[in-house]
Amino acid sequence: MLQEYEELLLRFYSPEITFDTLEMLLKSPNIIQSIPYYKWKLITADPDDNKFVDCALNSGADYIVTNDKHFNVLKTIPFPPIKVIDIDTFKEMIA
């Protein structure tokens, strides 16, 4: 999963900033690394997104925060239950 973060960060930032950001994420005490052992394969429109769903389910996350429309399918699947909220909703929640 770090590879996808690295690819996205490199689109906007230098390799040095990308490396520092990933190091910070890996060493942060409030980050939980999750290795899912079951693959649900719930998102068919962009199967690469499934790793985020699997990690969220495996770690017991309350939400997946994203503006990616591929995750909207999760709102129609009753099991396993996973809430998806957009970034603006998340900002309101923590404000």
**The pLDDT of residue 16 is above 90:** yes
Q: pLDDT for 47-56, tens place per residue?
A: 999 999 999 9
Q: What is the pLDDT of residue 88?
A: 97
Crossing angle of helices 2-12 and 15-27, rounded to 10°: 140
Q: Where are the domains of the chain?
A: 1-31, 36-95
- Residue 54's pLDDT is what? 95
pLDDT tens by residue, 37-87: 899 999 999 999 999 999 999 999 999 999 999 999 999 999 999 999 999
pTM of the model: 0.74
Residues 6+ apart with CB under 8 A from 23: none
